[in-house]
Amino acid sequence: MGRQDMSEKSKKAEMLSLIEKLNEAAMAYYQGSEEIMSNFEYDELYDELIKLEMETGITMAGSPTQKVGYEVISGLPKEAHDHPMLSLDKTKDRDSLVDWLGDHKGLLSWKLDGLTVVLHYREGKLAKALTRGNGIIGEVITGNAKTFINLPLSIPYKKDLTLRGEAIITYEDFQKINESLPENEEHYKNPRNLCSGSVRQLNSEITAKRRVRFIAFGLVSMDNIEAEERFKYRSQEMEWLDNQGFETVERKSVIGDDVVKTVESFENTIDGNPYPSDGLVLVLDDIDYGKSLGRTAKFPRDAIAFKWKDQVAETTLREILWSASRTGLINPIAIFDKVELEGTEVSRASLHNVSIMKSLKMGIGDRIRVYKANMIIPQVSENLTMSDTVRIPVECPVCGTETKLRDDDGIITLHCPNPSCPAKSIKRLTLLTGRNALDIEGISEATLERFTGEGFIREAADIFKIGRYKNEITSMEGFGEKSFENMMKSIEKARNTTAHRLLYAIGIPGIGTANAKLIAAACDENWEKIISLTESDLMEIEGVGPVLARGFVDFFKDHVKASEVSNLRNELYLEEGSSLKDDYFAGLTFVITGSLKAYENRDQLKGVIEQAGGKVAGSVSSRTAYLINNDISSTSGKNKKAKELGVPIIDEATVTRWIQDKKISQVSI
């Protein structure tokens, strides 16, 4: 089928597919990973995308044809909505939906669980974006909205347009974002909270990294005329928004008893739904009829929300477990006899905070009712006994420090005020012992938890003093003389390390392995120079920005952290300066592509090259000295680029020989 035969919807789908392919290829190219398409193929697809954008009049925010300029602001300005936004009346009864709809035709769609956003287009271009706010006044987030990956920046309709939709982050992207976080950083709890925080960022570059999407669910006005005067049916509105380039919410037409069957069909696809949802929305399709019904003080009468009726099970409370976290918050968790809910066995549920636990008047042995909120998250709905015998712990269950209750606007939470509480340091210690840090084999996160729980480890330096607890450790289950000896050998081996490994190991927010190497190299791997760096010193290092520099300096201003780092430093032997680094690759930039044989991965080869004074870049340019590729005859984009620029292509064996000989021999282009 030729492009001229494609529908507008098909063209939009093709555009989104091209954008995804091109962005994926660009990322692979510029980040130095395996190329997935040639330059020729990339250019062909790029030209095809431009043609489709011209034909449709639609340009998506994620399109590689757009040069993105990120916006940084000091605060989100507030602005009144042209059309106030009401909440929807709700029900959990499927039959009541049938009664509500009567003989009229309706549209049933997902009730997306993100952040509602209002968009204004002027002359076909995105002019303004507002959050829902309180329904009357919202926050202006225009710069952030321009980074939503599926949002059209320009559309075919060239007059004024206002529409509503939900900003969301898919479950898949949510998981990837959490997986990308350093081990010592708190992970995000759910897609909705992450999305809300991402949309309301003051720096739109941060929003862009969160892969926020916009799903349209309603047209508000067109050309300063109420949208209801343009279309007779809501279904027409949604189809029109589809053709303007917007991704619209999944919906199905219903009438009469069809509602119950259609609700079930949505219910059966919850597990496969890529978007967070907390129910369904039923809206009257006939716009004039819906408008004639008016509204109450709180709700419009032309739409109603459906919330899943939760499956509830009765069980017996056996324990309240108080779980201390890295933030110092101590949360109550209800432990109860196993019950089956929504097809899975459940035996615990978070009570979230002290206020909720107290309102339920919990007591060991009480009969309670539990359910899964939105069919996913276990919750306690009711306490039938209400003995109210559970007492709030006066000591942290991990470190024994006296706990503190905090009241934030009526919400009471329990905290451990001890900054050195082992519960707050487990992840930091896990990072410190990891392969890219001090690389201590035989000490897992579970082992660290046991040692901190026993009081053997209070801070990082204690790992290197663990030998004094030999008798206690060798008598612990799972530990014997041999395993203890192996652990001690690994600890002693780890004492000899480098400044950049130590810098990464101490867990400064934002300092990954690459930044640690950059900063340490700028200080000739001298630890005293590193910890004396000022913000201005750091800003002079390529790749270090103001946020990173400020966080670095603030970290060492913290006397407790600085003291712990100093104690750790005293347990280590750091290689510095000329003893650590040769310079026979000084001034040379390498690019690595293709698969490797002698090295585990590209990072390992990169480290060896940097050790010799060289640099490794992600793409071939006029500044590239050598392209490393075991397939020298490859027709990949990087090989072609190297040949065009006269950059020599060498294999892995050649660069390995140079490293061994500590000199470069001549190669032919």
Q: What is the mean pLDDT of residues 399-419?
A: 85
Query: Residue 165: pLDDT above 80?
Result: yes
According to the model, what pLDDT value does residue 384 have?
92
pLDDT at position 1 over 50: no
What is the model's pLDDT at position 583?
67
* Residue given tokens 């109603």 in the structure block: 304
- Tell me what the pLDDT averaged over the chain comes to: 83
Look at residue 237 in the predicted model and tell me its pLDDT.
92
Read out DSSP for 25-64? HHHHHHTTS---S-HHHHHHHHHHHHHHHHHH--EETT-T
At 35, the pLDDT band (50, 70, 90 cuts) reads: low
Token pair for 50: 């431009």
Q: What is the pLDDT of residues 550-584, one digit of tens each?
A: 989 999 998 888 998 999 999 999 876 544 456 67
Could you give the dihedral angle defined by the CA atoms of residues 355, 359, 363 and 367, in that order, rounded to the nearest 10 degrees?
-130
User: Which helix (H) or strand (E) element contains residue 383?
Assistant: strand 377-383
Q: Which residues are catalytic?
A: 111
437 pLDDT band, cuts 50/70/90, is confident
Helix, strand, coil shares of the chain, percent, nearest 5, are: 35, 25, 40
Report CA-CA distances (Å) from 570 to 325, 431, 438, 464, 496. Answer: 29, 19, 14, 10, 12
Residue 441 has pLDDT above 60, yes or no: yes
CA angle 33-38-39, nearest 5°? 105
Residue partners of 309: CB distance under 8 A and separation at least 6: 92, 93, 94
Q: Rounded to two decimals, what is the model's pTM? A: 0.51
| φ, ψ at 533 (rounded to 5°) | -65, 140
Confidence of residue 465 (pLDDT cuts 50, 70, 90): very high
Q: Of 72-81, 150-159, 251-260, 388-397, which range is least confident?
A: 72-81
Which of 492, 442, 449 lies closest to 467 in space, CA to CA? 492
Please state, in angstroms and rounded to a whole number, the distance separating the CA atoms of residues 191 and 278.
12
What is the per-residue pLDDT across 325-346, written as a single tens digit (0 to 9) for each?
656 788 898 999 988 876 667 8
Q: Which of 173-187, 200-214, 259-273, 321-335 has the lowest mean pLDDT?
A: 173-187
The number of CA neighbours under 13 Å toward the Cβ of 55 is 18
Instruction: State what percent of residues in the chain have pLDDT above 90.
Output: 25
Residue 462 main-chain phi, psi, to 5 deg: -65, -20
Q: Which of 599, 610, 428 is nearest to 517 (CA)?
A: 610
Bigger pLDDT: 33 vs 286: 286
How confident is the model over 535-563, as a mean pLDDT?
87
Rounded average pLDDT over 129-146: 88
Helix/strand/coil for 604: helix
Q: Which two tokens stand for residue 184?
A: 């010592």
